[in-house]
Amino acid sequence: MAAHPHQERHCSPRVDDTQNRNLWLFCARPIRLQDNSAFHGVIFAELHLSYLDHLFRNPELTGRNTIALIDADGQWLFHHPEAADAIGKKIEMIALDEEIRDREQPFLGALISPLDGQAQPAAYHPLADFPYTIVVTAILEDEFRQWRFQRAIYLGVGVLVTGLLIGLALLALRLANARNQLAVQAMQLEHRVLYDKLTSLPNRDMLDERLDQAIAASKHAGLYGALLLIELDYLKPLNDAYGHTAGDRLLIEAGQRLLHSVSEVDTVARLGGAEFVVVLVGLKDDRDISKEHALAIAKKIRGFLSEPYHLTLHSVTGVPFAIEHHCSSSTGIALFVGKDAHQSEIFKHADTARRQAKEAGRNMIRFFESGL
């Protein structure tokens, strides 16, 4: 094969040596000086295609993917995996032949296989300085099958993860609801244990805790506190005339009046029956002044409790009717200060003063005068 002096490069089609079972490609180009003027000869080269067979077997092809070598006219020169029917046939390229000739950089395209007439996506890689192009193709159905398989996996994983997240969310919600229910039950239990069922005021257990806190505060600040033991007078005639329902409603109303008579830092509790307790804290560091403050609050409480009680009751037939009841109170007061305060003694002194108030004719206020 010779090259024309005015042609820069010439490459032959594939040459089959059937006798020796060899395949060849031949290339030639003229030799010129740097000024590109005089012709000095021809460089001739040959390529044994067994080298391509070795080279093309190295890439790992999956499924029915192929790798091939084509010339500038789109003719198959070499094909791997080996396909004797493919050699020498011209592929129908989606991109124009001129596009392939003109491009020097790899690009993506497609081709129509002359073997089965199926459209195949293809990656083209032109070889620099040679009119050959390496083409790697894939079968759409294989790619779609793999894509569908991967999509099924992703979808399955997505469904599994979504289900797991939903399950965790539901579990968290159930745990939160259970926690809230336990908190509510704990509060209800605490209320039943520490508060009076009828009036919802602190009961004796809660009162003991509050009184301990008041004693500790008195020791810390050096200020007096006071315990008022209050018993409602003339509750029994109301129960005898209208039943215990009427007495219960009066006790509830009396508890509310007591709450409105003192500050939020003080404690109002019910001991049971017609007896209530008020614990006053943070009075003064002087006993006489503290006594005056406690007496003023006790009189205020006595005034609130002596106001008429307007109660709505029901007859045995369910007919509502209203009554008005007057009730007084007897109050015993025990002052305490930190260094001398003991809970049992405070209750004992207040009870002594309460009995003195009742013996004095009821609706009276008495202090325990012996001192702590």
CB-based contact 140:120 (threshold 8 Å): yes
CATH architecture of 50-138: 2-Layer Sandwich (3.30)
Residues of each domain in the chain carrying CATH 3.30.70.270: 204-367
Token pair, residue 69, equals 């070598």
Distance (Å, whole) CA 39 – CA 41: 6
pLDDT digits (tens, 9 = 90+) for 76-89: 676 676 666 666 66
Question: Rg of the chain's alpha carbons, rounded to an integer?
Answer: 54
pLDDT at 1: 46
pTM > 0.75: yes or no = no
What's the fold here for domain 204-367?
Alpha-Beta Plaits (3.30.70)
Residues of each domain in the chain carrying CATH 3.30.450.20: 50-138
**Higher-scoring residue by pLDDT: 354, 57:** 354
Tell me the average pLDDT across 69-74. Answer: 74
Q: How far apart are the first and last CA of the chain?
A: 134
Helix then strand then coil, % of the chain, to nearest 5: 40, 30, 30
Q: SS3 of 194, please?
A: helix
Distance (Å, whole) CA 325 – CA 240: 13
pLDDT digits (tens, 9 = 90+) for 266-319: 999 999 899 999 999 999 999 999 999 999 999 999 999 999 999 999 988 889
pLDDT at 179: 87
Distance (Å, whole) CA 3 – CA 21: 26
The dihedrals phi and psi of 86, each to the nearest 5 degrees, come to: -85, -30
> How many residues would you count in the chain?
372
Q: What angle do CA 292, 293, 296 make, to 5 degrees?
A: 85
Helix ranges restricted to H, 260-333: 287-306
Distance (Å, whole) CA 162 – CA 40: 75
Distance (Å, whole) CA 188 – CA 185: 5
- DSSP of 240-274: HHH-HHHHHHHHHHHHHHHHTTS-TTSEEEEEETT
Distance (Å, whole) CA 207 – CA 173: 38
pLDDT at residue 253 greater than cutoff 80 = yes
pLDDT at 109: 73
Tell me the average pLDDT across 3-31. Answer: 60
pLDDT at 366: 96
pLDDT at 182: 82
Residue 61 CB neighbours (<10 A): 15
CB-based contact 231:258 (threshold 8 Å): no
